[in-house]
């Protein structure tokens, strides 16, 4: 029963994790630029926890979160990428792992973080998938157990990056950004609505969270913008 | 080919009623390229109760029957569990069988015309207990056909699903065929299985299903390989589910 290989799937996974599979690409260089900007954005305190969100779905949160996690890990930091998007969890697909245990089972004390986080082929990078999705995910994120999670995770990792649902869809991202040292807003060029981005920013600020910056995604480059890169991918 | 949903055990549900009928089904399965069948008798669907211990005994009997008749096919234990509130608890009580008697997967059947409000909760509790629910034949649930978003949210929350080979092959009509193939395309169905009951009306259609889906796409989205991986205990090759567009007024009118 030799089914034809599903080449396209594997390719899209590799494309998503470009910082790992093609570290010399322009996109990977951009992720490293974001990394440096994040590190320089805080002067007297280290950024240890980051929320990655956007105003609307499909702007590239998960891709950005995964690649940022990779470039930080490549720098030698011990990184945990957490799938806190309980509305549309995708991290376990990207890293090809099972999702039977994860963030939700840690929060409900059915498993311990050190036994739940998955090691990846990428040195220094661990992944915590979402875990089974409860009917009331927001309650879990704002609960006291979340504080405990932050304490445990910070003891084990230098940096924790949260992939979250869109800010305007549910309150999850607001709740998390409030608890994190900083928030990154991903904005997709040509797709994102200006008013919605402003609203998302206001929502984050009103949650007393700190916006580290905005990642403009999918911006079409003019061909002469990249003339000094040796290669176009 | 591995069949993860099949009523092959005799005298326990609306499948074969005696050894002769089971044998006929086994012959048809082999002809259709099936090497392994997970026997999934109905459990708790109002008419039939088939607890784990009873299924295990009958699976042994059917395996001996196959051997006596020199048929090279292996039967594994399983159940098709009608959804109810205490699946996770009854699993802990050893009444519910996972697929093949050794995996984390449990085949769950929804009522044919609705998705009960407690479905999310039950599937969540199963997952918390370490089980992965596989929803049987969602393409034949009229509430899901009306609003595929209902299935999407269950898949998004970690369930998997299995469409029936005969649906993909077109035996239940063009509409169900089209819908089943769309489910596979949108990563809302992850397995194709026979759900065979008898050789005449509800038999095996695995090869025809494979042909139908490959002729539409040139590949089969890994639905047959997934069954193989499940039985071997390997992790599945999965991709994020995609939302299906709900039909608008005009397309509903045109596609009736």
Mean pLDDT by 10 residues, chain A (233 residues): 42 76 90 91 85 93 95 96 94 91 93 94 95 87 88 96 94 92 93 92 92 89 54 44
User: Is A144 within the bounds of a domain?
Assistant: yes
Contacts of A94 (CB under 8 A, 6+ apart): A13, A16, A17, A62, A66
Helix, strand counts (H, E) of chain B: 11, 9
Nearest CA in chain A to B128: A132
**The pLDDT value given to residue B251:** 60
The domain tally of chain A equals 1
* Residue B196: DSSP 8-state: B
Q: Which two tokens stand for residue B142?
A: 């009229």
Which letter, b or e, does each residue of B73-102 get, where b requires 16 or more Cβ atoms within 10 Å of its Cβ?
A: bbbbbbbbbbbeeebbebbeeebbbbbbee
Q: Mean pLDDT score of chain B, rounded to an integer?
A: 93
pLDDT, tens digit (0-9, with 9 covering 90-100), for A66-100: 999 999 999 999 999 999 999 999 999 999 888 99
Question: Of A3, A4, A133, which has the smallest distance from its Cβ to B157's Cβ?
Answer: A133
Considering the domain boundaries, does residue A110 fall inside one? yes
Give residue for tokens 């995964």: A66
The CATH code of domain B2-235 reads: 3.20.20.140
Per-residue pLDDT band at B216 (split at 50, 70, 90): confident
Least confident segment among A189-193, B11-15, B71-75, B182-186: A189-193
- CATH number for A65: 3.40.50.300
Looking at chain A, the number of H-run helices and the number of E-run strands are 11, 7
DSSP result, A122-174 = STTEEEE---SPPS-HHHHHHSHHHHHHHHHHHHH-SEEEEE---TTT-SHHH
Q: Where are the alpha helices (DSSP H) in chain A?
A: 7-16, 18-21, 26-41, 61-74, 91-94, 103-107, 113-116, 137-142, 144-156, 172-179, 194-206
Contact by Cβ (8 Å): A150, A48: no
Provide the token pair at B196: 């065979």
Q: Are residues A3 and B128, on separate chains, in Cβ contact within 8 Å?
A: no
User: How many Cβ atoms from other residues are within 10 Å of residue B53's Cβ?
Assistant: 10
Average pLDDT over residues B226-243: 93
Which residue of B87, B123, B124, B127 is the best one to mutate when testing the A interface, meaning the one whose CB has the most A CBs within 10 A? Answer: B127
Does the distance separating the beta carbons of B104 and A100 come in below 8 Å?
yes
- Do the Cβ atoms of B158 and A133 come within 8 Å? yes
Q: With contacts defined as CB-CB under 8 Å, which chain A residues touch B218?
A: 4
| Predicted local confidence at residue A142, as pLDDT | 81
Domain ranges of chain B: 2-235
Give backbone dihedrals phi and psi of B210, rounded to 5 degrees, phi first.
-65, -40
pLDDT for B52 beyond 60? yes
Residue B255 predicted with pLDDT over 80: no
Name the residue in chain A with its Cα closest to that of B223.
Answer: A3
Residues B93-147 have pLDDT tens digits of 999 999 999 999 999 999 999 999 999 999 999 999 999 999 999 999 999 999 9
Q: Which domain holds residue A106?
A: 48-221
Q: From CA B17, how far away is CA B14, in angstroms rounded?
A: 8
Look at B156 and A133 and tell me if their CB atoms are within 8 Å: yes
A82 occurs within a structural domain: yes
Q: Is residue A14 part of a domain?
A: no
């Amino acid at each position: 029963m030799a089914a034809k290989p599903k080449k396209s799937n594997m390719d899209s996974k590799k494309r998503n994790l470009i910082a790992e599979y093609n570290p010399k690409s322009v996109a990977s260089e951009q992720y490293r630029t974001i990394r440096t900007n994040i590190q320089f954005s805080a002067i007297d305190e280290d950024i240890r926890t980051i929320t990655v969100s956007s105003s609307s779905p499909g702007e590239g949160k998960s891709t950005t979160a995964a690649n940022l996690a990779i470039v930080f890990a490549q720098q030698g930091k011990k990184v945990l990428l957490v799938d806190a998007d309980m509305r549309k969890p995708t991290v376990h697909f990207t890293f090809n792992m099972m999702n039977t245990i994860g963030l939700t089972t840690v929060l409900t004390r059915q498993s311990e973080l050190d036994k739940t986080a998955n090691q990846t082929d990428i040195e220094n990078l661990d992944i915590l998938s979402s875990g089974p999705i409860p009917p009331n995910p927001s309650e879990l994120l704002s609960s006291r157990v979340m504080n405990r999670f932050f304490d445990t995770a910070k003891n084990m990792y230098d940096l924790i990056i949260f992939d979250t649902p869109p800010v305007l869809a549910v309150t999850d991202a607001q709740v998390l950004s409030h608890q994190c040292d900083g928030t990154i807003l991903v904005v997709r060029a040509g797709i994102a609505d200006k008013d919605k981005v402003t609203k998302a920013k206001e929502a984050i600020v009103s949650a007393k969270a700190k916006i580290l910056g905005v990642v403009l995604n999918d911006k079409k480059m003019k061909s002469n913008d990249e003339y000094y890169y040796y290669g176009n991918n | 080919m591995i069949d993860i949903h099949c009523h092959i055990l005799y005298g326990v549900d609306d499948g074969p009623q005696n050894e002769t009928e089971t044998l006929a089904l086994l012959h048809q399965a082999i002809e259709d390229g099936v090497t392994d069948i997970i026997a999934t008798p109905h459990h708790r669907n109002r008419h039939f109760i088939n607890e784990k211990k009873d299924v295990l005994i009958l699976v042994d009997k059917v395996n001996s029957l196959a051997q006596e008749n020199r048929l090279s096919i292996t039967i594994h234990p399983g159940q098709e569990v009608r959804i109810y509130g205490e699946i996770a608890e009854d699993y802990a009580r050893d009444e519910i069988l996972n697929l093949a008697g050794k995996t984390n997967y449990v085949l769950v059947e929804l009522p044919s015309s609705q998705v009960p409000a407690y479905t999310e909760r039950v599937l969540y509790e199963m997952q918390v207990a370490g089980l992965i629910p596989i929803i049987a034949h969602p393409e034949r649930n009229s509430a899901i056909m009306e609003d595929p978003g209902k299935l999407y949210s269950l898949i998004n929350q970690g369930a998997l699903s299995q469409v029936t080979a005969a649906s993909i092959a077109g035996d239940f009509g063009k509409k169900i065929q089209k819908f089943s193939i769309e489910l596979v395309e949108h990563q809302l169905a992850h397995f194709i299985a026979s759900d065979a009951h008898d050789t005449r009306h509800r038999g095996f259609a695995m090869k025809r299903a494979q042909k139908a889906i490959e002729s539409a796409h040139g590949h089969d989205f890994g639905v047959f390989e997934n069954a193989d991986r499940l039985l071997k205990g390997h992790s599945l090759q999965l991709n994020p589910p995609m939302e299906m567009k709900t039909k608008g007024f005009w397309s509903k009118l045109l596609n009736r």
